[in-house]
Structures are given as structure tokens and as C-alpha cells.
């Protein structure tokens, strides 16, 4: 409940700022034409009205005590969220996205498959590692060898050498 | 536009050995993706994108269309065997498919589902072939104002679909439209809403964002709350049993009505297979002489949703191919995939490259036939594949999504964009906003803006107000009616109708 209100308020503030920003940064348009700033400004005005209505609905459908209780529980719930599977999953996802190019496809895929598999409740490590390796090979062969899609080799020297070695096995 | 040469071209493209293999692969992948709970038809098409990078634009649309058709059918299999719709449009199939399976007639239910899906799909493919030509001919003579109004109609219909959440859906659509404004201005070429970031000059990359929204967000949702599968009976013994001709003859009108209605609903921008399936199920229940049998495992209860949801796939291709306006999420993804390959979407597409229509028709025609054969041969394998734990499937979906995002431009930033879009998508859903509305806004944003602004340039006036009046009241060259004004009025009515209906219901309730 608290996050919903926060998101709406942030959207409102962002919309007002963007309305001012786009007006200030775009060249002045001719009087009879729709200029570069007017279309986004029109959308922003509608957006501000819609968010205002949504906020009105929010306060109408939620009791004051409930909102206050949601905000009192906000920081504890943030801590709970940080400890949750979802947050760990989100963190792993971002980490994978950032490391995808530096570590290359082979390493990132293998590590992510094992890590996320454990997060999703896989208990037996050996079958998980084996299935992750098999899927990694299927994806690599399917996309890189058969479809000719470029997969990152990695920037780390020995990982890059290994990727080049794998590519040489498939005659690429 | 419709001649035999077109069909020859279409089937010529399709019957090339490589293309034939790709369509069979697309059908197998689509059926599998569709059957997996948590993988919607949209996500199936999204996951198909990486396969298309090495294809020509025509091959890409053939491949993606085959995946789309097959995934809708695949969803029905899980609905019958596990009471969990693989795709949302298969939800009404569970009402009668599962009770039939519980009676020990799972094979027969699957047979009816496959035949209905194929007939619905084939009908829609034919309708698409016949409708696209005249619609394109009409659309070619449309001016920018009319094209803006048609694009806007797509957005306004979407807002009336989720009637319990109108305000949030409007906000989502507006955010999508606003995000489409980021980048170089389409007419002046100056950076707009980029906040000084040069990387934003080309705007947001559609494919990584869509992959993030539809694939990554879904896996995150499943991380929190997973869909558990529990099959009815002994699925290892399951064998597809086709209905007799007599049984099919009894449901011929149900099949015909639902195929027509499904195609019409599919054509409407924003409305898609899910709405078609629910509407047809409900309509057939009302029309039936034995409505009490619905929900107990009757054949009509499977035929209605399955024929209509497959028919909607063909319908959704009509506005995409003839007007360049996606009829739904899956069509929006196909459009983005084609735009990435440099294809100019819009009414001129079929005029300049009619092979897009013929190849799409050939693909749908072939996919709907192959789908039946594939489902018979692979049914048992699919049932086993459904037993793959989500701890393996979830990360695999993310890695496929990552390959798709990276291959857009072969840069790591796109993978980060995908991951961030996935996280934002999760927050959006948690705050009850509508991702579909946002994506449609994002896809239609540029079409809306460039057309409305061009309309202002070619309809001169002394002031902005005078120009606005000219834009909306000028009659169309081919017809003596101000089409823009009519369409915008329809948009307005569609926008306010859910609110008015709510008010009406409240008053009615207060009176009674």
C-alpha cells in the first residue's frame, strides 16, 4: 500500500518536472503548428490529471489508519524484502546483466543457471550443475552455431581464450 | 491485391527447405512454450525473437506467426490435462476440458481442442488474406490525421478492457506514449527528454524492453509464487483421440460462429485471444439449448474457446499488416522485430512488399496443419517436458531472453536495459498498472505523434486552434466525411463508456 502511494507521488513529481523541462529545452514552435514540446506536454497534462485522480481514488478507498499503519511498517517491510527470495533474484539478475559481457556467455550462463536454480529450490547440486551445463551447451550450439548469433566471449583473458577454443571446436 | 501469384509466392517462400524446417521448429517451440504455465503467447513470441536475427524480414514474420499460432494451441493442452491454462486465452478451456479429462476422456478432449484450434486458425488465415487487401487499399488514401485517429483508437479500446482499473490503465498507456517521446524529435531532429544522455538520443530500444517486461517479469513473478502442476489421471497413457465426423457435424455452427467472432475480436486493436475465448464461451452458453451442460465437460465448451482464440491470432495480424498498427502485445513484438530489420510498417508495406501478406497467410495455414500433427506425435513428450522443474526452466527462460536482448545490437547495455525493464515491470504489476497498455503506448507513440504533427503541418491555419479544427473536420478525399472527427469521437466514447456504465450501475443499484 505504501509503495503504491510512493510510486504515484514520484510519478506526479516526475511528470511536473518533465512538463517544465521539455518546455524549457525545446525550440519555440510556430503558432499554427504542433511543436516538438507540445505533444509530450499534452501527454504530461493528461498524465498529471490521471495520477491526481488515481491519488484521489487511493485516499478514498483506503482508511487513514491503514495508510498510517502501512507507512509505519514501511522500513521493516523493506528489510523483509531485502531478505526475500525476490530481492536475491533481482540482485542475481542485475549481476548477470552487468557481468554478461565481461565474463562471456559460457561462464555467465552456467553460474546464473546454478545460482537461480538454487534460489528456486533445487536441492541436489550435482544434477543441477549437470542440467545447467547441458542447457548451456544446447543454447550455445542452437544460437551461436546453428543460428549464427554472436554471443559474448568475455573480456577476462582466460575466459576469452576458452570461448575461442570452444568456437574452434565448431569450426567457427 | 489478392491473386494467385501472391499465394504462389507465399507457399514458395514457405516450401524452401530451410523455411519449412523453421516453421516446424516454430510450431514445436510454440506448442511447448504455450503449454508451459507461466509462459504466455506473448512471451513465446518474445522468446522466439533471438531465432529471427539471422533471418530475412519475411522469414522472421513467418517464424513468429507460427510460434504465436502454436502457442495458443499449446496452452489448451495444459488447460485440459492440468486444469492450468498454459496461456490466458485457454482459461475457458479448463471449464469443460478438465471435467472431460476427469471422466477419462482426456485424449478425446485433446483431439477436439486440436481440431477446433486448427479450424479457427485456418478460417482466420483466410479472412486475413481477404481483408488485408481492401483495408490496405483504403488505408493508402488515408492522410496523417486519419492514421493518427486509427492508432489512437487502438489505445482507447485498450483502456476499456480492464474496466476495474481504468485510471491505472490510462496512466500506463500515457507513460508508454511519453516514453516514446524520448530521443530525437521525429520532425526537428533535436534531442528531447534525454536529460543530456547521448545514449538516449535514439530513444528506448524496444526489443530489450519488451523482453524484460514479458519474459523477465514473469520469471520474477514465478519466483515469488510458482504455478504447481498436478495432472489428472495417468498422463503417460494419454493418447490423442480425434472426434468422429458425426460429433464434429454437431458442433459445426459453434465452430463457425466462434471462428467468425474470434477473427472480428482479433482485428480490434487491443482486444485479443483471451477476450475472444471468454466472449465466445459465454455467447455459446447463452445460445445453447442445454446451457446446464457447460462446465461439466461438454464438447461445445472446448470448441468455443479454442476455435475463437486461434481465430483471433489471424485477426490480430490484419491491422498489423494493413495499417502498421499492432492488434495486441504479440503483434507489437512482431512489429518491433520487423522494425529492427529496417521494415517500414504502415499501409505502404503490402503495396510495396505484398509477399509479407502471402507469406504470413502461408505460414498460418501451414502452422495450423502441422500443429495438429506435431501435437499428436509430441503430446507424450510435451507432457514429460512439463515435468521439468521450474528451477531449471526459469533460469533458462532468462538466459534465452538475455541472448535475445544482447543480439539486438551486440552490446551489453541492452542486457542491462532488459534486466532493468524486468524489475520495473515487476514494480508496475505490483502497483496494479498495466504493462500491455504501456507497451502499446510505447509502440504506437511514434506513429501517433508523427502523424498528428504532420497533419498540423498540411492543414494550415492562422492559429493552433484553427489548425486543430481543420485537422479534425476536413473531409477525407475518398469519402465526403470527416473520418478523423468520427474516429476521435468513437475514441472518446470508448474512453468514457466504462465510467458511464459504472455510474449507470450505481444509480440502478441505488434505485432498486
Q: Does the complex come out with an ipTM higher than 0.95?
A: no
Q: Which span out of A7-16, A53-62, B54-63, B263-272 was modeled with the highest average pLDDT? A: A7-16
Report the relative pairing of strands B191-192 and B183-184 from DSSP bridges.
antiparallel
d(CA B345, CA B269): 16
Residue A170 DSSP one-character state = T
Regarding whether A163 and A124 lie in a shared domain, the answer is yes
Q: At what angle do helices B217-224 and A85-103 cross, to 10 degrees?
A: 140
Q: What is the mean pLDDT of chain B?
A: 81
Q: What is the pLDDT of residues B256-303, one digit of tens each?
A: 999 998 898 888 766 678 778 888 888 888 888 888 888 888 888 899
Domain residue limits at A157: 85-169
Q: What pLDDT, in 10s, does the model give residues B432-481?
A: 888 878 888 888 888 888 888 888 887 767 676 777 776 667 766 555 66
pLDDT single digits (tens) B70-126: 888 888 887 887 777 777 788 888 888 888 888 888 888 888 888 999 999 899 888
- Identify the pLDDT of residue B269: 66
Q: What is the largest CA-CA distance in chain A?
A: 71
> Which residues, other chains included, contact A83 with Cβ-Cβ below 8 Å and sequence gap of 6+?
none
List the single range of A66-80, B21-35, B377-391 with lowest mean pLDDT. B377-391
Q: In this predicted model, what pLDDT tens digit does every residue of A24-59 receive, in sequence order? A: 888 877 777 778 888 899 999 999 999 999 999 888
pLDDT in the model for residue B50: 84
Q: What is the pLDDT of residue A118?
A: 92
Q: Which of B187, B219, B395, B427 to mutate to test the interface with A (most CBs of A within 10 A)?
A: B395
Domain stop point among A19, A51, A82: A82
Which residues between 1 and 20 in chain A have a beta carbon less than 8 angstroms from any beta carbon of chain B?
3-4, 7-8, 11, 18
> Phi-psi category of B195—alpha, beta or left, where left has phi over 0 and alpha has psi -120 to 50?
left
Residues A46 and A95 in one domain: no
More confident residue, B160 or B99: B99
Q: Is the dihedral of CA B64, B316, B364, B7 positive or negative?
A: negative
The verdict on A76 and A93 lying in the same domain is: no
Over pLDDT 90: what percentage of chain B? 7
Neighbour-count burial of B303, counting CB atoms closer than 10 A to its CB (0-12 exposed, 13-18 middle, 19+ buried):
buried
- Is residue A16 predicted with pLDDT exceeding 90? yes
Domain boundary among A19, A50, A82: A82
Nearest CA in chain A to B402: A97
Dihedral sign, CA of B256, B257, B260, B261? negative
Domain shared by A117 and A47, yes or no? no
B431 touches chain A (CB under 8 A): yes
- For B493-497, which contacts have Cβ atoms below 8 Å and span 24 or more sequence positions? B494/B153, B494/B156, B494/B157, B494/B159, B494/B160, B495/B156, B495/B159, B495/B160, B495/B170, B497/B160
Same domain, A62 and A96: no
Evaluate if residue B232 carries a pLDDT over 60: no
* Residues A63 and A96 occupy one common structural domain: no
* Chain A residue with Cα closest to B416: A97
B395-414 residues touching A, CB cutoff 8 A: 395-396, 398-400, 402-403, 406-407, 410-412
The stretch B150-159 carries a mean pLDDT of 72
Residue A113 and residue B418: Cβ atoms within 8 Å?
no
Burial B274-293 (b: 16+ CB within 10 A, else e): bbbbbbbbebbbeebeeeee
**Contact at CB, B452 and A34, closer than 8 angstroms:** yes
Residue A101: the pLDDT is 92
CA of B427: how far to CAs of A2, A8, A157, in Å?
13, 12, 38
* A140 pLDDT more than 80: yes
Q: Which of A54, A82, A110 marks a domain boundary?
A: A82
CA of A49, closest CA in chain B: separation in Å?
A: 9
- Within this chain, do residues A75 and A115 fall inside the same structural domain, yes or no? no
Q: Look at A22 and B192 and tell me if their CB atoms are within 8 Å.
A: yes
Same domain, A143 and A68: no
Q: How high is the pLDDT of residue B230?
A: 58
Q: What is the pLDDT of residue A27?
A: 82
CA neighbor of A145 nearest in space, from B44, B14, B54, B64: B54
B51·A147 Cβ contact <8 A: yes
CA B250 to chain CA mean position, Å: 30
Q: Which residues of B touch A46 (CB under 8 A)?
A: 170, 174
Residues A14 and A43 in one domain: yes
Number of structural domains (chain B) is: 1
pLDDT at A112 over 90: yes
Question: Is the per-residue pLDDT at B351 higher than 60?
Answer: yes
Which of A40, A102, A132 lies nearest to residue B181, judging by beta carbons? A40
The pLDDT value recorded for residue B314 is 84
| B364-388 mean pLDDT | 76
* Closest Cα in chain A, distance from residue B431 (Å): 5
Yes or no, beta carbons of A93 and B50 under 8 Å apart? no
A116 shares a domain with A51: no
Do A139 and A63 belong together in one domain?
no
**Chain B residues whose beta carbon lies within 8 Å of the beta carbon of residue A25:** 192
Q: Distances in Å between the alpha carbon of B18 and those of A11, A75, A147, B57?
A: 49, 57, 12, 15
Give me B489's grid cell: 469521437
State how many domains chain A has: 2
- Give the Cα separation of A116 and A92 in Å (integer): 7
- Check pLDDT > 90 for residue B35: no
Which residues of chain B does A8 touch, with a Cβ-Cβ cutoff of 8 Å?
431
The closest CB to that of B171, out of A47, A105, A150, belongs to A47
Residue A104: which pLDDT band, with cuts at 50, 70 and 90?
very high
**pLDDT over 80 (residue B2):** no
Which structural domain, as residue segments, surrounds residue B126?
4-511
Say whether both A23 and A99 belong to one domain.
no
What mean pLDDT is predicted for residues B208-232?
A: 78
Task: Report yes or no: B26 at the A interface, CB cutoff 8 Å.
Answer: no
Amino acid at each position: 500500500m505504501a509503495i503504491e502511494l510512493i510510486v504515484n507521488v514520484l510519478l506526479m513529481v516526475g511528470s511536473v518536472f518533465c512538463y517544465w523541462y521539455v518546455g524549457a529545452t525545446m525550440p519555440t514552435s510556430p503558432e499554427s503548428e504542433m511543436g516538438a514540446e507540445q505533444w509530450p506536454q499534452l501527454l504530461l497534462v493528461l498524465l498529471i490529471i490521471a495520477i491526481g485522480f488515481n491519488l484521489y481514488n487511493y485516499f478514498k478507498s483506503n482508511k487513514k489508519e491503514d495508510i498510517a499503519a502501512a507507512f509505519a511498517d514501511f522500513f521493516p517491510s523493506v528489510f523483509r524484502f531485502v531478505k526475500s527470495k525476490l530481492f536475491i533474484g533481482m540482485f542475481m539478475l542485475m549481476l548477470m546483466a552487468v557481468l554478461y559481457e565481461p565474463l562471456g556467455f559460457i561462464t555467465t550462463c552456467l553460474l546464473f543457471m546454478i545460482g537461480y536454480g538454487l534460489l528456486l529450490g533445487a536441492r541436489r547440486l550435482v544434477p543441477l550443475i549437470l542440467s545447467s551445463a547441458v542447457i548451456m551447451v544446447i543454447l550455445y550450439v542452437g544460437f551461436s552455431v546453428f543460428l549464427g548469433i554472436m554471443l559474448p566471449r568475455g573480456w577476462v583473458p582466460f575466459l576469452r581464450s576458452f570461448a575461442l577454443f570452444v568456437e574452434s571446436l565448431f569450426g567457427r | 491485391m489478392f491473386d494467385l501469384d501472391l499465394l504462389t509466392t507465399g507457399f514458395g517462400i514457405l516450401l524452401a527447405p530451410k523455411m519449412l524446417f523453421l516453421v516446424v521448429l516454430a510450431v514445436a517451440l510454440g506448442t511447448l512454450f504455450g503449454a508451459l504455465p507461466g509462459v504466455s503467447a506473448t512471451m513465446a513470441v518474445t522468446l522466439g525473437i533471438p531465432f529471427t536475427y539471422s533471418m530475412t524480414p519475411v522469414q522472421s514474420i513467418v517464424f513468429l506467426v507460427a510460434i504465436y499460432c502454436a502457442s495458443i494451441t499449446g496452452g489448451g493442452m495444459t488447460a485440459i490435462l492440468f486444469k492450468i491454462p498454459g496461456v490466458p486465452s485457454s482459461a475457458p478451456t479448463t471449464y469443460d476440458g478438465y471435467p472431460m479429462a476427469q471422466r477419462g476422456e482426456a485424449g478425446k478432449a485433446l483431439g477436439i481442442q486440436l481440431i477446433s484450434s486448427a479450424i479457427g486458425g485456418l478460417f482466420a488465415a483466410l479472412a486475413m488474406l481477404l481483408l488485408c487487401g481492401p483495408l490496405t487499399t483504403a488505408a493508402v488514401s488515408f492522410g496523417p490525421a486519419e492514421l493518427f485517429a486509427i492508432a489512437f483508437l487502438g489505445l482507447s479500446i485498450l483502456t476499456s478492457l480492464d474496466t476495474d482499473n481504468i485510471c491505472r490503465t490510462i496512466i500506463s498507456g500515457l507513460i508508454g506514449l511519453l516514453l516514446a517521446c524520448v530521443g530525437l524529435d521525429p520532425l526537428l531532429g533535436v534531442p528531447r527528454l534525454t536529460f543530456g544522455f547521448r545514449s538516449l538520443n535514439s530513444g528506448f530500444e524496444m526489443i530489450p524492453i519488451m523482453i524484460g517486461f514479458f519474459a523477465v517479469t514473469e520469471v520474477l513473478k514465478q519466483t515469488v509464487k510458482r504455478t504447481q502442476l498436478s495432472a489428472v489421471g495417468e498422463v503417460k497413457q494419454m493418447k490423442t483421440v480425434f472426434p468422429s465426423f458425426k460429433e464434429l457435424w454437431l458442433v459445426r455452427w459453434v465452430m463457425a460462429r466462434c471462428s467468425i467472432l474470434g477473427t472480428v475480436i482479433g482485428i480490434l486493436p487491443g482486444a485479443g485471444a483471451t477476450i475472444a475465448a471468454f466472449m465466445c464461451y459465454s455467447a455459446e452458453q447463452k445460445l445453447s439449448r442445454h446451457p446446464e451442460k457447460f462446465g461439466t465437460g461438454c464438447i461445445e465448451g472446448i470448441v468455443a474457446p479454442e476455435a475463437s482464440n486461434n481465430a483471433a491470432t489471424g485477426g490480430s495480424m490484419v491491422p498489423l499488416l494493413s495499417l502498421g498498427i499492432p492488434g495486441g502485445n504479440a503483434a507489437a513484438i512482431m512489429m518491433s522485430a520487423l522494425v529492427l530489420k529496417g521494415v517500414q510498417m504502415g499501409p505502404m508495406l503490402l503495396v510495396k512488399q505484398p509477399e509479407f501478406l502471402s507469406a504470413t497467410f502461408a505460414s498460418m495455414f501451414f502452422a495450423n496443419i502441422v500443429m495438429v500433427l506435431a501435437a499428436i506425435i509430441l503430446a507424450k513428450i510435451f507432457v514429460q517436458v512439463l515435468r521439468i522443474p521450474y528451477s531449471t526452466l526459469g533460469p533458462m527462460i532468462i538466459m534465452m531472453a538475455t541472448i535475445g536482448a544482447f543480439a539486438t545490437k551486440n552490446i551489453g547495455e541492452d542486457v542491462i536495459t532488459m534486466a532493468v525493464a524486468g524489475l520495473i515491470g515487476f514494480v508496475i504489476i505490483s502497483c496494479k498498472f498495466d504493462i500491455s497498455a504501456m507497451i502499446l503506448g510505447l509502440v504506437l507513440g511514434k506513429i501517433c505523434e508523427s502523424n498528428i504533427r504532420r497533419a498540423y503541418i498540411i492543414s494550415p491555419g492562422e492559429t493552433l486552434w484553427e489548425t486543430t479544427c481543420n485537422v479534425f473536420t476536413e473531409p477525407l478525399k475518398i469519402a465526403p466525411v470527416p473520418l478523423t472527427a468520427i474516429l476521435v469521437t468513437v475514441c472518446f466514447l470508448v474512453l468514457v463508456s466504462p465510467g458511464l456504465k459504472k455510474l449507470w450501475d450505481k444509480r440502478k443499484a441505488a434505485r432498486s
